[in-house]
Chains A and B, each alone.
Chain A
Amino acid sequence: MATPDLLDPKSATHNTKPLLSFSAKSVALSPREESQVVATVMKRKTVTAIFLLVVLYLVIGAAVFRSLEQPHESAQRFAILSQKLKFLSKHSCVNQSQLEEIVKNVVSAMRSGVNPVGTLTNHSSLWDLSSAFFFAGTVITTIGFGNISPHTEGGKIFCIVYALLGIPLFGFLLAGVGDQLGTIFGKGIARVEKMFVQRDISQTKIRVISTLLFVLFGCLLFVALPAAIFKHIEGWSALESLYFVVITLTTIGFGDFVAGGSEIEYLDYYKPVVWFWILVGLAYFAAILSMIGDWLRVISKRTKEEVGEIRAHAAEWKANVSAEFKETRRRVSVEIYDKFQRAASIKRKLSSELGFSSAPELTLPRQTSLVNFNDEWERNEKDAGQQNSTPPARNGGLLLNGHNPERGDISII
């Protein structure tokens, strides 16, 4: 391996110059390149990581739902099967296929909103104006309960077109309502904050307290109070009312519980008040959900930063190692070239002094030229073997392949 030439000033500078310039350039370049590469790779990897996390979340949810619900489902199934058998055995004139026929018809009628149970005469229509208004509201807010749904082709096509225009419209409305709500809340909280600032509490604490206040007050106004009202009017349990409120305000809207969807006699202003509550509650929930989203984003960013720090260290180390390696390689190749150039120049000098026709040898590859020099040196030695005191130049000139002891030259490998 080549050792640095420290004694020859020219070669020393020659060696150190590429070292400085190359390594400086490499250190400056590669972290930036590395960082760009790392940044885009991070982003793709972040998205993949988040995606995998969502899939994991879904799988966990699926497993929990299965363990919670399947026993109930089997119990229901068993109950209805026994009911069916009991019915068939009690009324022996009905056979299975007839029964299934009517059940199928009843179920599909139910899905169309016609309830064949009870006398069919004094049922209010599912498509009277107030119910249709409610249905249009569920379509535009994307809640989509599904207890009522269009069955005609015209109804379906109109539903599509209606939703296409109505959903953005509702989006704008919700943005506006959210802003107004935020203003009202903000003013109240600013007043509270002013009170706290007088007591010299830190800004972060005030912020946290105001967020908590917002969440609590909103929960009371838009979740707890309506849930209590629904419990009272609709006759649901407390959990069912809460479940309905959350499922509606997140716009999931299963439709197993619908306010105003049962056969109870409702007050006239019940449905419009419910609709208004949905509107304002949706704005509140949108704020809450985006707050949760912000928290998740901050958490993910922090993890990203921490992971990024680790990756930064790794990248830096890798950059340094590769820079060193590249630099050493370059230095070696520079030295070899340098040596060759010097050998060529000395050969020229020698040839001009001694009259050797060394031009063709310059074009030979290094290995063979070394061999030639060796042969020549041996020949020269044999020629001038008795001459002990050769002039230093000649001596130096003859020792081209090996060390020049006076110059402390490097041997070519």
Chain B
Amino acid sequence: MQSVSRSWLLLSGFVLFYVIYLLFGALVFSSIERPVEERLRHDMQVLTEEFLNRSCVNAASLELFLLKVLRANKYGVSVIGNFSGATNWDLPSSMFFANTLVTTVGYGHTSPLSDAGKAFSIFYALLGVPFTMLVLTACVQRLMYPLVIAPVSALQKSGLNPRPATTIHFVLLLVLVLLAFFLAPAAVFSTLEASWTFLDGIYFCFISLCTIGLGDFVPATQPGVKHRGLYQISVMVYLFMGLMMMYLLLSFFHKMADLHGLTTLLQLPRCDDSDLEDDREPIVGGEPKAPPLKDKAASKPLDPSSQASYNSISKG
């Protein structure tokens, strides 16, 4: 009884803290961005008036035209420049789009226009998102051994206790990932993209690798980019590997939290080591582990505590 009330208390504590966090973020964003918005609006007004004064266009026809332009732009069709066949739906760009769909990044710089495209996106995403999660967890499980467990055990052999060893290695790995997947690509992007600064590059890397994907910065969308297909494919590869590293860090952090007793304290789902062992069981002449599991799963009634949680997707 005490644990039930404790879990409810924890949950309401989380919700309250979450709401406060959102309010705090809202306040800060509002205070930072609003003045800039005001200034931009004022500039636009001035610009429109100048345009109208200078020419023979009246406001109504200009607005009509602008509406159409904006609607086209929402779907990635730009009215600027020559209409030199740079389409958003050739094979590399479509693959890039499918990749943003399946990794749940979802930039939105292009989105399906047709009804059939929208319907297809629904099914494609419903199947593709868990599929990608599966692949990512499989790769992470594979990488866990050489990148995490082996160095940590080496550190432990050289005399450190498990807790400091894992912390040291986590920090080291974090710094490495930061260098290799944030700073270096940001530098590359800021040189390849004409209008991006270094901060824009870091911002883009972070927003993409956390799968937020706001879409205000998307590489390979400027007109006149050379080797667009190759560029997009390499960005896709970078995104996939970066996501893998993020998941690795996340599961490492989860294991570390287990070790430090945080998960039991906060009553969070523990790191499940049975998945790791499942993949390692000998296939030839090993114990038949799979059939008993299946029977067990089939015979057990729906256990409320066994519901999948969001974290379980990342830890598989």
Contacts and interface: CB of A to CB of B under 8 A. Distances in A.
Contacts of A170: 18
A142 B104 contact: yes
A135 B227 CA distance: 35
B149 interface: no
Given A246-B126, A254-B106, A109 B310 contact: no
B163 interface: no
Interface in B83-133: 83, 87-92, 94-95, 97-102, 104-108, 111-122, 124-133
A62 B91 contact: yes
Contact of A31 (B105, B114, B207, B285): B285
A283 B310 contact: yes
A135 B114 CA distance: 27
Given A93-B56, A253-B108, A109 B44 contact: yes
Given A92-B56, A296-B131, A254 B107 contact: yes
Nearest to B282: A35
B274 to A, nearest CB: 13
15 contacts: A54-B135, A66-B91, A76-B75, A94-B57, A100-B79, A107-B73, A125-B38, A132-B27, A155-B32, A170-B18, A193-B301, A254-B108, A255-B214, A286-B308, A291-B308
B126 A117 contact: no
A23 interface: no
A339 B111 CA distance: 83
A87 B15 CA distance: 54
A112 B65 CA distance: 20
A70 B87 contact: yes
A80 interface: yes
Interface stretch (A180-188, A354-362, A393-401): A180-188
B48 A116 contact: yes
Contacts of A171: 310-311
Given A43-B279, A104-B80, A178-B308, A156 B116 contact: no
A210 interface: yes
B130 to A, nearest CB: 4
A54 B99 CA distance: 10
Contacts of B77: 73, 76-77, 80
B158 interface: no
Contacts of B118: 239-240, 243
Contacts of A325: none
Interface string A182-205: 110111011001000000000110
Contacts of B162: none
Contacts of B214: 144-146, 149, 255
A250 interface: yes
A363 to B, nearest CB: 49
Contacts, number: 463
Interface in B268-300: 268-269, 278-286, 290, 298-299
A360 to B, nearest CB: 54
Contacts of A29: none
B242 to A, nearest CB: 14
B215 A146 contact: yes
Interface string B160-179: 00000000000000000000
Contact of A311 (B48, B116, B284): B284
B211 to A, nearest CB: 5
Contacts of A129: 26-27, 30
A61 B98 contact: yes
Per CB-CB distance, the 4 closest pairs between chain A and chain B, nearest first, are A182-B307, A186-B304, A252-B106, A136-B25
A10 interface: no
A22 B40 CA distance: 86
Given A102-B51, A173-B15, A256-B111, 4 more contacts: A178-B307, A185-B304, A204-B298, A286-B309
Interface in A73-101: 73-74, 76-77, 79-81, 83-84, 87, 90-94, 98, 100
A178 B309 CA distance: 6
Nearest to B56: A93
B74 interface: yes
Contacts of A139: 25, 212
A180 B11 contact: yes
Interface stretch (A159-167, A342-350, A375-383, A403-411): A159-167
B265 to A, nearest CB: 12
Given A31-B285, A104-B80, A176-B11, A110 B127 contact: no
Interface size class of B (residues with CB under 8 A): 35 or more
A140 B207 CA distance: 11
A34 B65 CA distance: 72
A153 interface: yes
A315 interface: yes
A111 interface: yes
B10 interface: yes
Nearest to B23: A133
A120 B111 contact: no
A47 to B, nearest CB: 5
B312 interface: yes
A179 B113 contact: no
Interface string B55-74: 11100010101111110111
A173 B117 contact: no
Contact of A159 (B116, B203, B213, B306): B203
A35 B286 contact: yes
B129 to A, nearest CB: 5
A2 interface: no
A178 B81 CA distance: 50
Contacts of B97: 62, 65
Contact of A59 (B83, B95, B290, B310): B95
Contact of B127 (A111, A292, A311): A292
Contacts of B278: 301
B92 to A, nearest CB: 8
Given A144-B106, A182-B305, A203-B298, A293 B101 contact: no
Given A149-B215, A253-B108, A98 B66 contact: no
Interface string A113-145: 110111010010111111011011111101111
Contacts of A190: 301-302
Contacts of A243: 118-119, 121-122
B150 interface: no
A152 B33 contact: yes
